[in-house]
Structure 1
Amino acid sequence: MKNLLPHEAWALIQQQPDTLFVDVRMEIESLYVGRPPGVENIPWYEYPDMTPDPAHFAAAVEREAGRKDRPLLLICRSGTRTQHAGQALEAAGFTDVAHVVHGFEGDLDAHFRRSVLNGWRHDNLPWEQM
Structure 2
Amino acid sequence: MPGVPDIRPRATWEALAQDPSATLIDVRTDAEWNFVGLPDIAETGKQLLLIPWQVYPSMQVNGAFAEHLRKAGLTAESRLYFICRSGVRSLAAGQAAQAAGFPHAFNVADGFEGPPDAEGHRGQVAGWKAEGLPWRQR
Gaps of 5+ in 2: 41-46
Alignment of 1:104-115 (within 5 A): 104-115=112-123
Gaps of 5+ in 1: none
CA RMSD in angstroms comes to: 1.3
Q: Give 2:105's aligned residue.
A: 97
Identify the structure with the greater strand proportion: 2
d(CA) in 2 for partners of 1:18, 1:30: 24
- Residues 65-94 of structure 1: CA distance to partner in whole angstroms, max 9, x if unpaired? 332221111110000101111111111111
Choose 41-50 or 28-37, whichever is displaced more: 28-37
Q: Kindly state the Cα deviation for residue 113 of structure 1 after the two structures are TM-superposed.
A: 1.0
Percent of pairs identical after alignment?
Answer: 37
**What SS does the aligned partner of 2:61 have?**
coil
Q: How many residues align?
A: 129
Kindly report structure 1 stretches of 4+ aligned residues shifted beyond 2 Å: none
**What SS does the aligned partner of 1:65 have?**
coil
Which of 21, 25, 28 in structure 1 is aligned with 2:24?
A: 21
Which of 37, 52, 57 in structure 2 is aligned with 1:43?
A: 52
TM-score, scaled relative to structure 1:
0.92
Give the conservation status (yes or no) of the 8 Å contact 2:30–2:56: no
TM-score, scaled relative to structure 2:
0.87
Alignment of 1:1-130 (within 5 A): 1-37=4-40, 38-53=47-62, 55-130=63-138
